[in-house]
Amino acid sequence: MTEITRNYLKQLDAKDGLAKFRDEFYLTDDVIYFNGNSLGLMSKRAESSLYEVMETWKQYGIDGWMKGKRPWFYFNDELAELMTPLVGAAPEEICVTGSTTTNIHQMISTLYQPTEDRYKILADELNFPSDIYALKSQLRLKGFDDTALVQVQSRDGQTLLTEDIVAQMTDDVALILLPGVLYRSGQILDMKQLTTAAHKRGIIIGFDLCHSIGSVPHELSKWDVDFAVWCTYKHLNGGPGSVGGLYLNNKHHNHAPGLAGWFGSDKNKQFDMEHVFEKAIDASAYQIGTPHMLSTAPLIGALEMMTEAGIDAVRAKSLLMTDLLIELVTEHLVPFGFVITTPLDHNMRGGHLYIEHEEAARITKAMKAAGVIPDFRAPKGIRMSPVALYNTFTELYDAVMIIKTIMTEEKYKEFENEREIVA
């Protein structure tokens, strides 16, 4: 095994085929940003595409919907094309719209069609809370209580076993929503195997890709996934609150949107202003209201850069970085009581590393004070996400050495061991 020295990591940086993209981002001197799995950094291209839309607004006003370099009325078509290689789907199966939670509501209200015998929704106990809130509210709207939501239990509090999920696919389950990558531990679920198992039992299945989109390749159409939702501000670097996305398998395009709105209309008839809704024939039918152009615009630049880099190259570098980070944490930080809970197997690991420590909240504060930006998750978790497009291999070493100094000199004791309002 090669010794992980700073000099060795400098050599990796010198050979890094994605290193050129680092210059595309706004970076802060003396800060190591390892929080791209919560909010990606701003790029110059994202800034440029935002200014482009603002310039169109300035120049054309209302006519920006049909004039300018990128008429807003057709903006989503270009974004769907750019999303295609990231989710492994046809452009007509993709729509950039809404937020993760509103898109969950849209997909569930469209595809969840309970019967007397088949009415339960299957999720898991480790999922992000917003997904669970949405599922429970959809059940209530259909006249069910929370007992109709089945949540797969974790055996270790960190990960899920495929066999445990499949075991819960009983005859009374109508629909399944699971994360592609668990937001805490970073475990990847086997979306292909789970989809096959669900379909054998006549169950519709979808995935929340918030923590996998832009860091892990997907083949949603090939796997025959029914639906998926995602955000665009983490690994896709679209900006805070940037517009989300949804995927709906072609076979479901015959469904009327559960939540209909005028921007889901057939574009040729949208401005007829009839009170009879004529839906678009593709996934754009599941838009609801007028697109939020200033929250969508940065995605053009951000996704163009991702296309140039290639998701396979991004994944390869991401895995190497987390491999190295695991080795460094094991050597230098485990002796101080840190525990790695992210799966070590490449096939089970997403784009971030999750470590736990009883003093995690105050350690996170000390890290930020020292120029390392991680993400804290109560009660004792620290997520570190080295991003392939803008983080370097050398930063892995420097970050771990800073944490080691914090622990050696007990600098974390200068802070309270409780989370900030925004963790």
Q: Which residues are annotated as a binding site?
A: 100-101, 128-131, 208, 211, 233, 262, 290
Task: Work out whether strand 94-96 and strand 120-124 pair parallel, antiparallel, or are unpaired.
Answer: unpaired
Tell me how far apart the alpha carbons of residues 409 and 423 are, in angstroms, rounded to a whole number: 24
**Helices (DSSP H) in 124-190: which residue ranges?**
129-141, 162-167
The β-bridge partners of 173 are 120
What residues pair up with 205 in beta bridges, in sequence order?
A: 176
Q: How far apart are alpha carbons 348 and 94 in whole angstroms?
A: 26
| Distance set, CA 176 to CA 102, 373, 418 (Å) | 17, 35, 35
DSSP 224-249: T--EEEE-SSSTT---TT---EEEE-
Which residues are documented as binding site for pyridoxal 5'-phosphate? 100-101, 128-131, 208, 211, 233, 262, 290
Q: Check if the beta carbon of residue 72 is closer than 8 Å to that of residue 293.
A: yes
- d(CA 271, CA 191) in angstroms, rounded, equals 40
Helix crossing, 311-332 with 393-408: angle to 10°? 30
Tell how strand 372-373 and strand 353-356 pair up: unpaired
Give the closest residue to 143 by CA, choosing from 123, 125, 124, 116: 116
Q: How many residues does the structure list for the chain?
A: 423
Question: Which residue(s) pair with 228 in the sheet?
Answer: 207, 247
